[in-house]
Chains A and B, each alone.
Chain A
């Protein structure tokens, strides 16, 4: 069969341009917020001074130290973690066809946190200190990551299995996530119970997600793992688009649905694990970012995925700025603010019904 050729409708091209423009706008906003984030803190550094310092053209040695040793790794970590969590949420919502899915709501984040804590305490892959600024120093990131990944992957497999049971509603999956989340939280508490004072302080502090604790070494590890997975997700957007139409339709379009779903869940668990191992539990970014983007530009994964990644980075970075400034000189962990943002969105989604 062959149909005569038509033309590319102008209104469609305009519509595509509109979506591209949205992504461009978020990108510009992200650059702006990045520089703002570097400039704000207990010591205020001017906007242009930041740019000059970044290009190694600074007049002040003090500014250089603050920016390169403290603010820049923290800012970049927030960007990478936000991007990674948002991509994990977007892909989970798509392959499980569940708008309530995200690493946090499905209990995968808690499983990863337990795995990382288990590795640090029992397998000795990290050194704990009582100082709040550097509560935990992971000496063996690979072991920590593998342990976190193992537990989050087990959870992801269980959730994927439950999603296949006929009639498993999005709520059923989230309730399973709540149960698994509680289970792993109890596991983490058990570890805490047997921890000594120093370890306990470190672990409690660590359960608050905070991007400030990553140094350059942590950042690069986080960056490379996340980057590979983001590329993987972006390369698969076509398959996720087909799966959004339903499994049977996707198979009819030549998509190997089961392997794509399983590897997507594995990749999403891995990205969640690496972020949580280094900076603790950060809630709701994976849920909120794709929903904001979906409101504006719809479900088409070719645009939804990159836009969610950027919006996730933007939200986490903005929340981090607020967390740093709101109670100065106290610096709050960023996860408190992402929860303030995420909980109302989650409740709204439940009230509104679960149409994507």
Chain B
């Protein structure tokens, strides 16, 4: 197990957002956190790498409690791709190089630069190397953020809605890439997502949040229409097209 979460509870001031969350994550798997808007998916993700501090519960990364680690040590184990990235006037290369921040003590050394180059090539971003972030499209920016998270060389990737602002081509590119890297390097990824069909297609494990806690978790192929109906309060049918599961809402059709 790379990650164990036991009894996590989080509240913003007096408003309870998450209560008694328990789950664990294995290496080599992509897990997707699903649930309706405002249920606390992003909050849960931010608790996992101490961006937010949960009021109670333990988070163990490779059996080490993150409460006993400082923020730099956590950054060596867990990398995080935020939903929103500010496009500064910095080149893609420099932006990716920031991923080495937790590992650099005083000065960037040639090894760091070489690692950045390797990732940039791996993600086919070489043509963007010296382009400023504020001149990039949403898809390019997202790829740069993922490259930065990868160059951090952690065993756990957290991605907050990695495809929310992307077109179909970029969505499939990025999710395919994440899935591939997770398998190839035997690491783990956890992402939050809205689109059930994309989740069914690219994740190995699911985690449904409902009413501030975990409604269900398991293998992605075990998701049933009953679960989706319970969590989202919408009637759906899961149909198979060329072997791929598709979630089709049926309530809307009636209304129309």
Residues of A within 8 A of B (CB): 1-9, 11-12, 15, 97, 238, 241-242, 244-246, 248-249, 251-256, 294, 298-300, 355-356
Contact A294 B85 (CB under 8 A): no
Contact A251 B51 (CB under 8 A): yes
Contact B130 A11 (CB under 8 A): yes
Which of B29-37, B107-115, B163-171, B190-198 forms contacts with chain A?
Answer: B107-115
Contact B152 A246 (CB under 8 A): no
Contact A253 B75 (CB under 8 A): yes
Q: A8-B113, A12-B130, A253-B75 are in contact. Are A3 and B122 (CB under 8 A)?
A: yes
Residues of B close to A1: CB separation below 8 A:
150, 153-155, 181, 185, 187
Judged by a CB distance under 8 angstroms, whether B62 is at the interface is no
Q: Which of B51, B118, B150 contacts A5 (CB 8 A)?
A: B118
Contact B80 A3 (CB under 8 A): no
Q: A8-B110, A248-B51, A251-B51 are in contact. Are A241 and B98 (CB under 8 A)?
A: yes
How far is B100's CA from A254's CA once the two chains are assembled, in angstroms?
A: 10
Judged by a CB distance under 8 angstroms, whether B235 is at the interface is no
Contact A255 B132 (CB under 8 A): no
B44-63 near A? 1/0 per residue, CB < 8 Å: 00100111000000000000
Q: A252-B80, A356-B134 are in contact. Are A5 and B115 (CB under 8 A)?
A: yes
Q: A9-B117, A253-B102 are in contact. Are A298 and B90 (CB under 8 A)?
A: yes
Q: Which of B88, B94, B98, B126 contacts A356 (CB 8 A)?
A: B88
Chain B: interface size category? 35 or more
Contact B153 A12 (CB under 8 A): no
Q: A252-B79, A298-B90 are in contact. Are A3 and B129 (CB under 8 A)?
A: no
Judged by a CB distance under 8 angstroms, whether B223 is at the interface is no
Residues of A close to B130: CB separation below 8 A:
11-12, 15
Q: Which residue of B lies closest to A1 (CB)?
A: B185
Q: Which of B71, B99, B149 contacts A256 (CB 8 A)?
A: B71
Residues of A close to B74: CB separation below 8 A:
254
Residues of B close to A252: CB separation below 8 A:
49, 51, 75, 78-82, 149, 158
Q: Which of A3, A241, A255 contacts B118 (CB 8 A)?
A: A3
Listed A/B pairs (19) with beta-carbon separation below 8 Å? A1-B154, A1-B181, A2-B153, A5-B115, A6-B118, A7-B117, A8-B110, A12-B93, A244-B88, A245-B85, A245-B98, A248-B80, A249-B86, A249-B148, A251-B80, A252-B51, A253-B99, A255-B101, A299-B90
Contact A246 B84 (CB under 8 A): yes
B214-225 near A? 1/0 per residue, CB < 8 Å: 000000000000
How far is B79's CA from A245's CA once the two chains are assembled, in angstroms?
A: 14
Residues of B close to A249: CB separation below 8 A:
80-82, 85-86, 145, 148
Judged by a CB distance under 8 angstroms, whether B231 is at the interface is no
Residues of B close to A256: CB separation below 8 A:
71
How far is B158's CA from A246's CA once the two chains are assembled, in angstroms?
A: 16
Q: Which of B75, B121, B153, B181 contacts A254 (CB 8 A)?
A: B75
